[in-house]
Amino acid sequence: MARPIFAHIDTDALKHNLGVIRNHAGTARIMAVIKANGYGHGMAKVARALWTTDGFAVASIDEAIQLRELGWLKPILLLEGVFGADEIAACVNHRIAITVHHFDQIRMLQASKPAQSLALFLKLNSGMNRLGFEPQDFLRALAQLQAMQTCTDITLMSHFATADDAYGIADQLQVIQTCFDELPYPVSLANSAALFRYPASRGDWVRPGIALYGASPFADTAASALDLRPAMTLHSRIIAVQTLKPGDALGYGRTWIADRPSRIGVVACGYADGYPRHAPTGTPILVNGQLTRTLGRVSMDMMFADLTGLPDADAGSAVILWGKGLPVESVASAAGTISYELLCARAQRVPDHE
């Protein structure tokens, strides 16, 4: 028999979340971000569930081509653009839109002389300082694209650094408006957080990511408060039970020592499955639908759950690591990370089960 750990991917939840996002997007089209294997959910499964969206955004040419092979005919955007001139021909052949964020990419386009029109998203660095042209260079970059006869399908884009916290988007939005003002092109700005909090950022294309998967983009707002439903539930089981007396230590490093008689459940899940090794004692976990806590150090294939207050729990009891009944952001917060990392980290050895 296989190890009892598996992920259930709820395609109905994905469809529901897309509907919630569509309500917030207004008239803007939705570029669903499904990079990183659909945030760990399985890109093909996510794409099929979100087939009614207006476009998909990915990180690599291979992901984009896979979508075309699945039969997707609508827009696909390469969020980091091309990494070499050889990818431009593939973008032409497969009708893949390219993010352009530095002058080397423009030089590659000029040298390749694509035979057919390319869709381009010209990216402004409005303050995140990751990708994009500096404001003083933006119009020069745009002029170079305009001079190319096969680069007439242009969308202007930027990305917010702090749409999910109290700092907000006002500073960046001012830079964006100054650069984009009166330019006759569509605009793409909003990520999940901006989509929910800042209607002024909607533009013509929105690019939701984490909200599609049912996790909140905000540290201070639960996903359920946004009417989002978790798309991934990570399941396992208790595979052994240990009884500890006061003074007994648990697991590698003896990081937890019992101060009372304790029942400990050994869970078939570890950091090789994608669970964070740094999750401390006290991280929430569900056993038989009841909330309890992890104990000690997470090892490669196993971890520990406190069963002391759960007399009905025993070997074979069902465990939920995150998902339905236990928001992934609650686990992430306890582990000092974010839900994105947990979802994307699901290991290949953890299968999907219906």
Provide the pLDDT for residue 29. 98
Answer whether residue 35 shows pLDDT above 80: yes
pLDDT band at 59 (very low <50, low <70, confident <90, very high): very high
pLDDT band at 146 (very low <50, low <70, confident <90, very high): very high
Residue spans per domain, the chain: 11-215, 232-344
Provide the pLDDT for residue 161. 97
| Strand, helix or coil for residue 216 | coil
Residue 73 class from Cβ within 10 Å (0-12 exposed, 13-18 middle, 19+ buried)?
A: exposed
Answer whether residue 188 shows pLDDT above 90: yes
CA–CA dist 293, 313 (Å, integer): 13
Sign for the CA dihedral angle at 318, 322, 323, 327 comes to positive
Answer whether residue 329 shows pLDDT above 80: yes
Q: Which two tokens stand for residue 120?
A: 């381009």
Answer whether residue 272 shows pLDDT above 90: yes
Answer whether residue 85 shows pLDDT above 80: yes
pLDDT band at 151 (very low <50, low <70, confident <90, very high): confident
Q: Which two tokens stand for residue 79?
A: 């969020």
pLDDT band at 149 (very low <50, low <70, confident <90, very high): confident
The closest alpha carbon to 79, from 166, 15, 155, belongs to: 155
Q: Which two tokens stand for residue 240?
A: 């052994």
Provide the pLDDT for residue 97. 97
Whether 11-215 and 232-344 share one fold: the answer is no
Determine which of 20-29, 109-118, 280-289 has the lowest per-residue pLDDT on average. 109-118
Residue 86 class from Cβ within 10 Å (0-12 exposed, 13-18 middle, 19+ buried)?
A: exposed
Quick: pLDDT tens for 196-253: 999 999 999 999 999 999 999 999 999 999 999 999 999 999 999 999 999 999 999 9
Average pLDDT of the chain, as a whole number:
96
207-230 in b/e form (b: 16+ CB < 10 A) is bbbbbbbbbbbbeebebeebebbb
State percent of the chain over pLDDT 70.
100
CB 279 within 8 A of CB 337: no
Q: What is the mean pLDDT of residues 104-117?
A: 90
Hey, which residues are catalytic here? 35, 252
Answer whether residue 298 shows pLDDT above 90: yes
Backbone φ, ψ for residue 98 (5° rounding): -115, 130
The closest alpha carbon to 169, from 123, 209, 202, belongs to: 202
Provide the pLDDT for residue 115. 78
Answer whether residue 354 shows pLDDT above 80: no
- The residue with tokens 């469809």 is 15
pLDDT band at 87 (very low <50, low <70, confident <90, very high): very high
* The domain over range 232-344 is classified in CATH as 3.30.200.20: no
How many other C-beta atoms are found inside a 10 Å radius of the C-beta of residue 312?
Answer: 9
pTM: 0.96
Quick: pLDDT tens for 12-23: 999 999 999 999
* CATH number among 2.30.40.10, 3.30.70.100, 3.20.20.10, 3.40.50.300, domain 11-215: 3.20.20.10
CB 112 within 8 A of CB 144: no
